[in-house]
Amino acid sequence: MRLQKATRCALYAVLELASDPKRQLSANEIAEKYDISTNHLAKVLRSLGREGLVEAVRGAGGGYRFSGNAKRTTLLDVIRLFETVETVSSGEREPGDDTPEGLALTQVIEEVEAIERATFHSITLDTMMKLVGRHRK
């Protein structure tokens, strides 16, 4: 699975901000670290703000800070804000779907999707930050 650009931006932003909830960072500072477009990130941050995951801090030295619950917010919660997590069974019908071969293929794809969904839904931002920490060592 390849995450869309906006989703990756959002995940980088929430992980960066959640790593120190008291710290304020500008969109520019986050964009620079992850080599992403500031304009694109600014739009993503506004979406995250509407969901209560980040809040904008106004005035000199303003920026964004994390305002969510890192132990309760999963990767899937963030991904769903930016892309549709469609399953093969909920998508458009394709030719051959109703044949035994099509049904068997759907069964295999559903197995992969179930594992993918469970993985994203079981990893919270807090767990993800621990994983990031292991990559820093």
Partner 1 sequence: MKLSSSDDRAFDIRTVTGEDLPAVAALDERISGIAKPDYWQDVFERYGGRRKGRYFLLAEDANKKLLGYIMGEVRAWEFDSPPCGWIFGINVDSEGRQTGVGTALYQAICDGFRKYGVHTVRTTVSHKNELVMSFFRSQGMMASHYIQLETELES
Which residues make up the interface to partner 1 (CB under 8 A)?
A: 71, 74, 114-115, 117-119, 121-124, 126-127, 130-131, 134
- What span, in angstroms and rounded, lies between the C-alpha atoms of 114 and 46? 30
What is the closest distance, in whole angstroms, from the C-beta atom of residue 123 to partner 1 in the complex? Answer: 5
Token pair belonging to 108: 């295999």
What is the closest distance, in whole angstroms, from the C-beta atom of residue 76 to partner 1 in the complex? Answer: 10
Nearer to partner 1, 103 or 118 (CB): 118
- What span, in angstroms and rounded, lies between the C-alpha atoms of 25 and 84? 28
What does DSSP assign to residue 59? S
- On the CB side of 125, CA atoms within 13 Å amount to 24
Nearer to partner 1, 62 or 133 (CB): 133
Nearer to partner 1, 94 or 111 (CB): 111
- What span, in angstroms and rounded, lies between the C-alpha atoms of 71 and 11? 15
Are 44 and 6 within 8 A, CB to CB? yes
What is the closest distance, in whole angstroms, from the C-beta atom of residue 136 to partner 1 in the complex? Answer: 14
Nearer to partner 1, 104 or 115 (CB): 115
What is the closest distance, in whole angstroms, from the C-beta atom of residue 7 to partner 1 in the complex? Answer: 19
